[in-house]
Amino acid sequence: MTHRTKLPTYAYLAGTAALALVLHAFPASAKEPQAQAGGAMATLAQLGVEISGMDPNDPIMSKEEFDAGTKIYFERCAGCHGVLRKGATGKALTTDITIGHGFDYLRDFITYGSPAGMPNWGTSGELTEDEIAMMAKYLMIEPPAPPEWGMPEMQASWQVLVKPEDRPKEKMNDIDLDNLMSVTLRDSGQIALIDGGTYDIRAVIDTGYAVHISRISASGRYLFVIGRDGLVNMIDLWMETPANVAQIKIGIEARSVETSKFAGYEDRYAIAGGYWPPQYVIMDGETLEPLKIVSTRGNVYDEQVYHPEPRVASIVSSHNNPEFIVNVKETGKILFVDYTDLKNLKTVEVEAERFLHDGGFDSTKRYFLVAANQRGKIAVVDTKEDKLTALIETGGQIPHPGRGANFTHPVYGPVWATSHLGDETVALVGTDPEGNADHAWKIVDTFPALGGGSLFIKTHPNSKHLYVDATFNPDAEISAAAAVFDIDKMGGNPDEDPEFVTLPIVEWAGITEGQPRVVQPEFNKEGTEVWFSVWNAKDKESAIVVVDDKTLELKKVIKDKGLITPTGKFNVLNTQKDIY
């Protein structure tokens, strides 16, 4: 059965202004703040707003401001701070905290950011002065709770655009799929498929808002992407021009999608995790038909108290068992979900650490390492035996590895690396319990890179370099560059930090307007090139910069009017095979 209903991304915003009846103090504008918390309050009359049935002397934001603030918060803030503003990667923003800080503090913090990972939304030009003033007021009002999203809503949003029997029986294009790049065009709600050999844009495909990741089916045929608005798109790469063949909206907000990879279950299932509602859904791997929804609400592992918003962060597919590995951020639990029998679902629950975010496999693909970022730790689990192997303190603030980086250190042997959102450090974890037992599951080295605000660290088995970005650093010069380390020159002397070369990525791109940020190094299939996104404001020029890995020289700048706010890039082969 084909479903054609498409629900609006922000449908849940309707009527949220009524939730603003929780009244607190805030000034009317950024230029003329009337009070900090506890002082004089802006009223409906002062704002020039009339809302039926309300006293004009009531202190409140206008409906228009509240609706606009809710939309901006969803788009820019909820990922780190949570829909209910209870915090995770970012600090908690509940009203008992924000009111105490007051308007001026909130306005300035939003404007200027911090080297500890808070983006500078004002000085970068992402938000206007008026929008920042509105958001400072918005944060001093209780957050609206979005509606639930269950099977009826999923079924209504589910669309099979091309039935499996009507799809190609063989590849119908000349694209080298192994070297194809899936590039997120964040603010246009699209992805661009770019040929890694010719640098040509082969397709621009409509998707959900701000696609967070791209994942490849075990066969390499289907590309799955998920937007922050919870929309999952399934793209058939065999079509003459790759296009959507199915889609479903699995919730209000989401980040993660993955497919089954274990032998005998290739391409059979897909899974997506929700930020709101906090849940995951297992779907048919050919059609995205929703089959099983599982809530992740429950008690946090350490305090044993109930949490209303335990969001599903990263999901990976085990290579050792027919299982999905589901990381639940707020409760600190890692779930091994056996997909062999959905009717009698078996799940192993591992107590790890809060607040689980992103991570990847070690080079053997037996161990999965995931950042518990606000606790400054890396949790390691054994995917053969489904149990916790280690909890490792990184020594840095807010580890944020992406999928991390695997390489052989000249002294410590096989290691996995993470950078940090909250400071400039890179930390190396030993990952070889058999050949290098003395170094296994320990921080064997830490050293500085460019600065705080790093989102991704990357290398490749064919490369001798380690690349680190600093995307959210408020210093425009730092966020416009990337650091690269020579792995062969990494020594074992703790008193000598390895030196790095700074790549002037934005300068090479030739972009002079705005504050473009460099984000996510990604290798081509051979490991000979590294691609960087130059992420600028939606109304300004962006680019992709390609660097020769051997010479560290500029190789290509890809520009196009359709490259709007490029962020994440995912090479098909590296993503399919978990090569990083």
Q: Which of 377, 379, 531, 558 minimizes the C-alpha distance to 467? A: 531
The position carrying tokens 């807010």 is: 398
The position carrying tokens 């053997």 is: 364
Beta-strand relationship, 180-185 and 190-195 = antiparallel
DSSP H/E element including 570: strand 566-571
Q: Which of 360, 308, 361, 359 minimizes the C-alpha distance to 331? A: 308
Contact 380, 392 (CB under 8 A): yes
Diameter of the chain measured on Cα atoms: 73
Contact 354, 332 (CB under 8 A): yes
What are 370's strand-pairing partners? Answer: 359, 379
The token duo for 14 is: 């309707």
The position carrying tokens 């370099």 is: 465
Measured between alpha carbons, how far is residue 93 from residues 33, 105, 351 in Å?
Answer: 20, 13, 26
The position carrying tokens 């109304």 is: 539
Verify cis geometry, omega within 30 degrees of 0, for the bond prior to 277: yes
Pairwise CA distance, residues 127 & 134, whole Å: 10
Q: What is the CA radius of gyration of the chain?
A: 23
Residues classed as catalytic: 77, 80-81, 118, 357, 400
Pairwise CA distance, residues 468 & 461, whole Å: 16
Sequence-ordered list of residues with C-beta below 8 angstroms from that of 173, at least 6 positions apart, any chain: 202, 238, 239, 240, 241, 242
Pairwise CA distance, residues 187 & 171, whole Å: 31
Contact 214, 198 (CB under 8 A): no
Contact 6, 159 (CB under 8 A): yes
Q: Which of 356, 315, 10, 3 minimizes the C-alpha distance to 154? A: 3
What are 484's strand-pairing partners? Answer: 467, 501
> CA 69, 71, 72: angle at the middle one, nearest 5?
65
Q: Provide the Cα torsion 548, 554, 555, 559; round to 10°.
A: 130
